[in-house]
Structure 1
Amino acid sequence: MNVEEISDEVADRLNISQGEDGKSLSQEPAQSSSQNAPSPASAAMLPELSPGRAMTEKKTVDEVVAELKKTPFFMTELEENDDTEALKALAYEGTPLEVGSEFKDRGNECFRAKRWADAKEFYTKGILVLAAEERKRVKGERPDPTITEDEVEAQRSALVALYVNRAACHLELRNYRSCWLDCAAALRLDDTNVKAYYRSARAFLAVGRIAEADDACARGLALDEANKPLRGVAQDIVKRHEEVTAKQRAESERVAREKRRQTLVKVSLKARNIRTRTTAQPPEMEDAGMKLVPDPDDPRSSLSFPAVLLYPAHLQSDFVKAFAEMETLADHLAYVFPLPWDAAREYTLGGVECYMETLTGGLVKVGKKVPLLKVLSGNVEVVDEVVRIFVLPKAKAAAWVEEFKMKKAAEKGAG
């Protein structure tokens, strides 16, 4: 029997709005010197640091993500990182602020050229440099007496800008999780950074985490109520929420309607004394199934069943999607015959006999002009919502019936 098998079954690319100052990138003052900038060779030596690990202590990335689900923007621990420790041994020309700022400037150049991956690499290298300095301060290591408080603040400001700018790269590259992790790191250092809230909201919205997107957006608007990019993402959040709510409502209504229809079918089957049984592996039948027609919501409608016409003498079959209770076998055999593979023309309306299996494993002969309802109300059952009817040429029917009985007897004996 050939039964067609059908299986059931976006984030659109985000267009990054300009920041509140009309620029896409953070433009904090950079105290860099071209003569002190690291050479391309030394820049290439810098290790890659995975997003979200540069500013966390005693936590794995997964633990940070778990905490982020609750309070996305207030991470308070820093993590020791082998990559950063290795970085400490590298020699740079210039102060950490100068080196970090130089990497930020190079990243900005790549970002303006829409070379998102290259920009991300430069921002990462700058983060490695300045995050190492921040880690020293958090650990309470003896401060460098040559570094003033103003320079410490400048380092921290540059580090925030690097995180926010790398988040923008992740947003363009659709690395949404990395985007909100970088924004979280920036907000831990400066919880007034509006761009971090904006990019976090965009990343959360892109993956359908509407509640977190709304939280990020609300925090940003609390700082700058007139911020156009944030107001734009707020409108997108409202729209997405309405779409999701409408979809959920429609799905709930569909499920409730389907459940009500199934109940009506069960009641109709019981009223007609039709027995049914379901096996462990029912066949997939697309949208075919027992249903009330023409109106599935009206209990006064007639029952309709999928049916399989089995031709055991030739190991063939036909599938009838809807066999109404008051229709007869003749109604369907009339358009099924002649069969394309029946070269001997053994299968004609008057030249075949039809059988169904009984509840006890026997056979009952089905008249071709008897309504299906009368047949199903007898000593038969509908298995997996499908009516199964054996169709045989009259000349071969008796032999097949005997063979069928022998097989059933053998099965019972083996059992």
Structure 2
Amino acid sequence: MASSEAQYDSEDEGMDMFMDKFKSERYKKGFNESNWEEEFDKVPMFMKTAPEEIDPQEYPELACIQAILHDEDRSPEEQAMSLKDEGNAFFKEKKYEKAIVAYTAGLKRKCGDQELDTVLLTNRAAAQFHLGNIRSALNDAVAAKRIKPDHLKALTRGVQCCIQLRNYTEALKWCEEGLKAHPTDKKLLELRAAADKHKRAAERDARKAKAKEKKLHGVKEALLAAIKDRGIKLLQPVKSAQRGSDSDDEDEGSSAAISELSLDGLSSQEVTGAQVFLDEHGSLHWPVLFLYPEHQQSDFISAFCENNCFIDHLAVMFGEELPPWDTDRKYHPQNLQVYFEDEKNETLNQVPPETSLLEVLKHQRFFVKGGTPSFIILVNGSSFRKQFLSGKKIKGL
């Protein structure tokens, strides 16, 4: 009896000491005016949002709850249900990646509850959809519909995915399946109307594109026919004109290039932004390049009509106002000579300025390169002309 009294006396003494200390020293781990909001945020009941990572030391209560939710001793159905709720919480916070992880973990429990599995799949489809993973969302909707063919959310999500993937025919199939089970569902009716509208628009655009392609093909065919009828020879780019064996006959190679041509040898758009075209009167208009080697300058004519003469353009370019690089003021139309180069024969062919472009293009030694005929312009009687032509063979047209 005496020992018991001594024990109680000792405990009372300890309590008295604790109370005396509590009165003299402030409790440091309690809530205060500066930290109460921070401390409340650590209590699961008062949390506004769940932390990204749960540290048991910092959030012991939340770690405990999480352990209970994922308790392996609980049934697979209970675990799957808890994971579904966890995923829903993440979904509401727009943390779709974490929601997907939770829904996937729930599906892995293989609880055997078809209703719950369907919900997990449709919820995961929604999260995938919000992340832009449309194909994955559709796969989940398909899997959910396989379990429960009349599940409204699975059907609705399937339609939305097909519309996003622009597979409007498939979207309408989903709608018809859904409306058989839910004939008055407003969402499905709206989606069917939207899918039908998109399908009609896509078909209309396809028809327009096909008609445009057909028209363009007709224009190209007419253009090629006009070039061939005139006997104009085209040289395609080296990469397009390469053949199994070399040919010494350039004319023959050029004719073959024309017969095989799909406008590759005509396109100069990459360099100049212009291309030969056939007008409504049946005349060809060519992009033409004038080169002035004396000053390393050039002029580009985007549409030189084949019936126009060289002097017509020279009179415009060197009329009243001469170019600034012509410091000697000698580039007058009547002083200019026109040449084209025959590379194979290493010859310059002189073209009278009164000659039409078509006459030159039909010349047996003229070849259109890269879709753009080019000509050299020299000043008659100039010292540069004499030096430039020195040692070269000159022929007349």
**Could you say which TM-score interval applies, normalised by the shorter chain?**
0.5 to 0.7
Tell me what 1:357 maps to: 341
Q: Highest CA radius of gyration, 1 or 2? A: 2
Tell me, yes or no, if structure 1 residue 163 matches structure 2 residue 97: no
| Large movers: runs of 4+ above 6 Å | 35-38
Give 1:398 shift: 4.0
1:317 equivalenced with 2:298 (yes/no): yes
> Would the aligned equivalents of 2:71 and 2:79 in 1 still touch at CA under 8 Å?
no
One-letter amino acid of the structure 2 residue matched with residue 291 of structure 1:
F
Displacement of 1:91 after TM fit?
Answer: 5.2
Aligned to 2:144: 186
The higher relative CO (CA closer than 8 Å, separation ≥ 6) is in 1
> What is the rounded CA distance, in whole Å, between the counterparts of 1:327 and 1:271 in structure 2?
19
Q: 1:206 aligns with which of 148, 164, 178?
A: 164
Counterpart of 1:214 in 2: which secondary structure?
helix
Distance 1:371 1:186, change over 3 A: same
Q: Which residue in 1 is equivalent to 2:82?
A: 102
Report the residue type matching 2:300 in the other structure.
Answer: F
Specify the code of the residue in structure 2 equivalent to 1:353. Q
The one-letter amino acid of 2:156's match is Y
1:373 aligns with 2:358: yes
Give secondary structure in 2 for the equivalent of 1:161. Answer: helix
In the alignment, which residue of structure 2 is the partner of 1:92? Answer: 72
The equivalences for 1:10-409 within 5 A come to 39-40=65-66, 92=72, 94-129=74-109, 131=110, 133=111, 152=112, 155-280=113-238, 284-285=268-269, 288-293=274-279, 295=280, 300-337=281-318, 338-345=322-329, 347-358=331-342, 361=345, 362-379=347-364, 380-394=366-380, 395=382, 396-402=384-390
State the 1:323 CA deviation: 0.7
Where structure 1 has 5 or more consecutive residues not aligned to the other structure, the ranges are 1-34, 44-89, 134-151, 407-415
The answer on whether the counterparts of 1:304 and 1:325 sit within 8 Å (CA) in structure 2 is yes
Structure-1 separation of matches of 2:66 and 2:325: 75
1:178-234 Cα distance to aligned partner (Å, 9 max, x none):
101111221222222232122122112212223332332332223222222222222
1:234 aligns to what SS in structure 2?
A: helix
Query: Any idea what the Cα deviations from partners look like across 1:18-37, whole Å, max 9, x if unmatched?
Result: xxxxxxxxxxxxxxxxx999
Gaps of 5+ in 2: 1-60, 240-264
Q: What is the TM-score with the length of structure 1 in the denominator? A: 0.63
Count of residues in correspondence between the two structures: 299
- Residues in 1 aligned to 2:77 and 2:328: alpha-carbon distance in whole angstroms: 92
Kept in 2: contact 1:37–1:99 (CA 8 A) = no
> Contact conserved, 1:200 with 1:213, CA < 8 A, in 2?
yes
3-state DSSP of counterpart to 1:305:
strand
Q: 1:403 to 1:201 in 2, by over 3 A?
A: farther
Taking the aligned partners of 1:368 and 1:189, their CA distance within structure 2 comes to: 83
> Matched residues in 2 for 1:39 and 1:314: separation?
86
Please state how far the C-alpha of 1:320 moved relative to its aligned partner.
1.8
| 2:314 partner letter | L
Moved more, 366-375 or 173-182: 366-375
Task: Report the Cα offset of residue 305 of structure 1.
Answer: 0.8
- Contact kept, 8 Å, 1:38 with 1:92, in 2: the verdict is no
Q: Return the alpha-carbon distance in structure 1 between the equivalents of residues 324 and 165 of structure 2.
A: 52
For residues 343 and 126 of structure 1, what CA distance do their matches in structure 2 show? Answer: 85
C-alpha displacement of 1:158? 0.9
Give the AA of the match of 1:116.
Y
> In structure 2, the residue corresponding to 1:318 is in which secondary structure?
strand
1 or 2, which has the higher helix percentage?
A: 2
Deviations 1:264-316 (A, max 9, x none): 223323443333332345564166222112x3xxxx33211111222334443
Native 8 Å contact 2:268 2:275 kept in 1: no
Cα distance change on mapping 1:403 and 1:317 into 2, 3 Å:
farther
CA offsets per residue over residues 119-170 of structure 1, 9 Å max, x none?
Answer: 33332232222x3x4xxxxxxxxxxxxxxxxxx4xx2211110110110111
Cα drift, residue 238 of structure 1: 1.4
Query: Shift in Å at residue 260 of structure 1?
Result: 1.4
Identity percentage of aligned residues: 27
